[in-house]
Amino acid sequence: MTDTLVLENLSGWEEIAPFNCRVPAGGMAVILTPKDEYNSDLARLLLGLVLPPQGRVELFEREPGRLNERDGRELRRRIGTVAAAGGLISNLKAWENLLLPTLYHRKLSRETLASAGRAALDRVGYQGQEMALPGLMNLFQRKQVGFARALLLDPDLMIYESLLFGLNQRERNLLLDIARSFHGEKAGRTSLFLTSDPGLPRLLPEAEVHYLTKGLQP
């Protein structure tokens, strides 16, 4: 089976031992990190926004940080990301944030896109204003819009950065249930959870767990 993600001898951070992991296509995995800052670093590495300090990062058999602009854009088209704080653009309204990547990456009519956008917001339980700016939304609402935005892309890989951080139990359960069900809706879809929460693996018993720091034990 082809691996969606390969990390080989990834190192260069203080206190982190060389890190290796493979996540097969269709797999679900948790990378448990010692603190949230590493989740953001890993997300940026996977999206090709920075090069690894040491070692190799491979997604879909490509090294994202070494691709030209066109190839990097094509690779990121296959990835949906839910950032720790939602990842919304501060001067765009919720609705604009929701649709922007899909307008860029997928050829859909306005009617189809609007219908799909509202369905995605409904799926994540968003009850805020569609025209609200991110600064007027709470953390859960920003994560809901970011999650709905990722759903619209119908990606082959979902990256969840600190998905449950800052949420209450009801909110955590809702987003985790959606992540789990979305994972199984497309053949070969891979789901990767980047977290410093040691309780997450217990909530995702079907996921393989990888430990970024030598001091963390299963």
Task: Parse the chain into domains and list their residue ranges.
Answer: 1-78+155-168+187-218, 88-154
- Which residues lie below 8 Å from residue 62, measured CB to CB, with a gap of 6+? 71, 75
Region 1-78+155-168+187-218: CATH code: 3.40.50.300
pTM as predicted: 0.94
Q: Which residues of the chain have pLDDT under 50?
A: 215-218
Among 214, 213, 175, 172, which Cα is nearest to 196's? Answer: 213
Q: pLDDT tens digits, residue range 118-127?
A: 999 999 999 9
pLDDT of the residue at 214? 58
Q: Does residue 30 contact residue 75 with C-beta atoms inside 8 Å?
A: no
How far apart (Å, rounded) are the C-alpha atoms in residues 95 and 42? Answer: 28
pLDDT of the residue at 109? 79
